Structure formats: C-alpha cells, structure tokens
Amino acid sequence: MKRMRLLITVGMVLLLTLACASIGTGDNNNANQDHAQNNTDQNDAEDNNSENDGSHDDEGKAGSLGETDFGRLLESGDLILDSINSNADEETNGRILTVQFTNPTNDEIIVSLPCGLIFVPTETEEQPMMMVQPLDLLLSPGESAPFTPYVVCADLFTPPPEINSGYTIGYLASDQLLAFAECICDIPLSDEEDSFDGVGVQFATWTIATNGDFTAGLDGEETAFGDEFEGLGADELIQSVTEMFSLYGSEWIDRCGIILEQPAE
C-alpha cells in the first residue's frame, strides 16, 4: 500500500491545514459569507449538471469483449491465456498484474488489450482490476511472454490482492467506468511509485464506481484501504478524509467529462 500510505499522509496534512485555517478565522460573519458562497457554488454546479444531463455521449455505454480483436483472438484459440497473477502485495493500482499469453499459431500476431478490460480474481474476496493504459502485444509464432498491464482497483469494498493472487480475463466495464477508462487510456500515467497520477486515477475510479459515496467502504472491515484508517477515531474525521479523497479524484473526472448521477432526494 505504498501509494495509498503516501496519499493518506499528504491528505492528513491538508486536512489539518484546513482545520487550522478554519479555527483561525473566528468570525461568524465570515463563516456565514462562506456558507452562502458554498451554497451559491453548489447551486451553480447543480445547474451545470442539469444542463449536461442527457448530453453525455457515453451515458449508458457498454462494452462487449467479444466485439474486440482481443476477445475474438481468445475465442478462436489464436491466443492462449496462460496465467495472470498479482506481482505486488496489497497494492491497488499500477503495473501490479503479470499476464502471460501464448501465440499457438504459425503467424506473428499483434494483440491490443482494450482499456476498460476487467481482470477478475479467482479468489472472490479480492479486488477486480480495470485496465486504464494501452498495451499492445507482439507475439512471434509459438512464443509465450509475460506482460504487465496498468490497472486500477474497480471495487472499493474488497481488499487488495496479496502477491501471486490469481486472476483471469473477465469482461469490459460499462457505462461511466468504461468511458473513464477509455479517456485515461489516452493520457500517459507515470510508473513511478511516488507519482500521484495513478493514485488520482484510482480515487476517481472509486468515486465513479460508488457515485461518490465512500462511507460504506470506510466503515467496512474489508476494503481497498486495508487497515490504513485504523485508529483514526471519530466518524467526522473519516467523513472529512472521504470528502477530501473525493475531491482529489475530481480533477480526473472533470478532465474526462464524466458526470456523476445526482443522488435522489
């Protein structure tokens, strides 16, 4: 959980900074003005969302793995999946899966794994992973070779995989998750462990998948965060951190033009 620990550390610093700034004001008039401004901003945001509702081209979009070149190669037997295993311990994003394919044919083949592809764990309590960076494979006749796709966790409410956990090819994501994955596919992400790119995309993915409601995931015993929030204490603190994380991913959500559903009143 190196990336997650880094984000939580920075997040706590930001949270304390905001708290200190709030205490330092001590002015009810300023607080009332801030509250009024927040209401105005929220109304403006709701108006913008209302204008955009129904206009997003990717709304309701779903993918079919069998309609991709990759899916057809698997179905025809011209590409053989040998194995998929986690190569990291309790990480949620990055090149943390090793996939090995074999080309059983007498011809060289080029395989393009589609962004939005979901890798499903063979142990159901662990996280499914979604591919968010392009990966083109060149396999000579009879060649077997390993590849490491760039993935993010697609389910906040399941624990991260242990090293060597098994996976298999699942399906294509649908709706907003698929649209988001295809958008991120066109944006190069850093492979460096201390990069915040992947962490931001990860939180954006969780935000889209949960429609911005992290509460149940933070309260649960088995989550993508593992024990990172253990001992933090008050529910208010958890809620504040949750809101901060949601905002952290919002840059990527906005960048890809994803519009979250408005909660029912």
> Angle at CA 190, nearest 5°, toward 187 and 191?
130
**Dist CA 108 CA 100 (whole Å):** 16
Q: Is the pLDDT of residue 221 over 80?
A: no
For residue 28, the model assigns a pLDDT of: 43
Give the pairing of strands 109-113 and 135-139: antiparallel
For 97, phi then psi, to 5°, come to -120, 140
> Angle at CA 215, nearest 5°, toward 214 and 216?
100
Q: Is the pLDDT of residue 7 over 60?
A: no
Q: Which pLDDT tens digit goes with each residue over 123-139? A: 778 999 999 999 999 99
Q: Is the pLDDT of residue 248 over 80?
A: no
Beta bridge partners of 94: 151
Q: What dihedral do alpha carbons 224, 228, 232, 237 form, nearest 10°?
A: -50
Token pair recorded at residue 133: 């960076």
210: CB partners within 8 A, 6+ apart: 156, 216, 217
pLDDT > 90: what percent of the chain?
A: 47
Single pTM value for the model: 0.74
| Range of lowest pLDDT (80-94, 104-118, 184-198) | 184-198
Q: How far is CA 69 from the centre of its chain?
A: 24
Please choose, from the candidates 58, 170, 181, the residue with its C-alpha nearest in 3D space to the C-alpha of residue 116.
Answer: 181
